[in-house]
A and B are shown apart, each in its own frame.
Chain A
Amino acid sequence: MTKSFFPLIVVAVVLAFVALFALSLQLSASGQLQQGNAPDFTFTQFDGKSFKLSDLRGKVVVLNIWASWCDPCKDEAAVLENTWRAYKDRGVVLLGADYVDTEPPALSFIQQYNVTYPNGPDLGSNIYRSFRARGVPETYVIDQRGSIAKVFIGPMSEAQLQSTIDALLAKATR
């Protein structure tokens, strides 16, 4: 009995490893999340305050993945800050997830560009990985129901970002 099943067990084990390897390859090859539910994550700010993405249901969330060593992020900082100031009282939350960075340069970046929206380290690169980001900056606009509405790869203009937000806010009031 054991003898007849043994080759089958060996083949099954080998196939399982091959399938696992193929799955991991497929996942790593697939690009950024473009639609569907945004993966939930815990966001811990530099000041230690912490909350979950799911706590922000009902609001438009703009998640920006950035780093102090990233030059395009410097160009984008004003766009994000202006948008935050214009929309923070209209049901929009901006989050800055600082990817692979150290705290001193990150904090001096925030100070230098007068960033006032919530910012924190992407601990363990969890946000970056769960959104399958490919680099910085990347910006994910998440609608009031927690679905990804728009992804900006690289820096975007104020008009691009704000028209996306406007469309989501208008949809909610309809």
Chain B
Amino acid sequence: MTRTLLLLFILLALVTSTVFAQSPDAQKLYTKLYCPLCGGVRLDVCELKVCADMKQVIDQKLAAGQSEQQIITYFRQQYGDQVLGYPPTEGINLVPWLIPFVLVLLGAFVLWQMALRWTRRPITTRIATNTTIPNDVVARIERELKE
């Protein structure tokens, strides 16, 4: 009985040590970096050999005291921006980031122009300049408005 319990205890210790072997920092980095070959697949769910190798490098670099940013920069230099999973906010890559803001600004400008157009011309001016309304009708309207 004691022997079985001891065996179970050792087994439990082995399982938990495997599960919690990776530090929270490593896990966080696995979810921040992307597979450079698959496109859109995060490192933590990627099953390729290259991803397993990348995870090993992350563990080694974290153990050597490198910061998260240093490790991300290293992988960007090695494989390019695809490891980030999004276009970095610099150079030509600024374009996709800026498009929504440019479109919102353009939309706001169009609305502003339309609002100005609607508010600039008073109703009376419009009636007065409209030549299709006969003069006697205009006179009648003005007379009735005075009354």
> Which residues of A approach B to under 8 Å, CB–CB?
3, 6, 10, 13, 17, 20, 67, 69, 100-105, 121, 123-126, 129
Task: Please name the 10 residue pairs, one residue from A and one from B, whose CB atoms are nearest each other, closest first.
Answer: A102-B53, A125-B80, A69-B49, A124-B80, A100-B36, A102-B57, A100-B79, A69-B50, A125-B79, A105-B53
Q: Which residues of the partner chain B approach A121 to less than 8 Å between Cβ atoms? A: 78
Cβ–Cβ contact B77 & A101, under 8 A:
no
Give, as a whole number of angstroms, the nearest-CB distance from A120 to chain B. Answer: 11
Cβ–Cβ contact A20 & B95, under 8 A:
yes
Residue of B nearest to A67 (CB): B50
Contact size range, B: 20 to 34
Q: Given A6-B113, A123-B77, A124-B76, are A101 and B95 also a contact pair (CB < 8 Å)? A: no
If over half of B's interface residues share one DSSP class (helix, strand or loop), that class is named, otherwise mixed; here it is helix
Q: Is B111 an interface residue (CB 8 A)?
A: no
Cα–Cα distance between A141 and B49 once the two chains are bound (Å): 29
Cβ–Cβ contact A101 & B50, under 8 A:
yes
Give, as a whole number of angstroms, the nearest-CB distance from B94 to chain A. Answer: 13
With A100-B79, A124-B80 known, 4 other A-B pairs at CB within 8 A are: A6-B113, A17-B99, A101-B53, A121-B78
Residue of B nearest to A98 (CB): B78
Residue of B54, B80, B106, B110 contacting most chain A CB atoms (<10 Å): B80
If over half of A's interface residues share one DSSP class (helix, strand or loop), that class is named, otherwise mixed; here it is helix
Residue of B nearest to A135 (CB): B37
Other-chain contact of A100, B37, B56, B77, B95 (Cβ < 8 Å): B37
Q: Is B48 an interface residue (CB 8 A)?
A: yes
Residue of B nearest to A20 (CB): B95
Q: Given A100-B36, A100-B37, A104-B53, are A124 and B113 also a contact pair (CB < 8 Å)? A: no
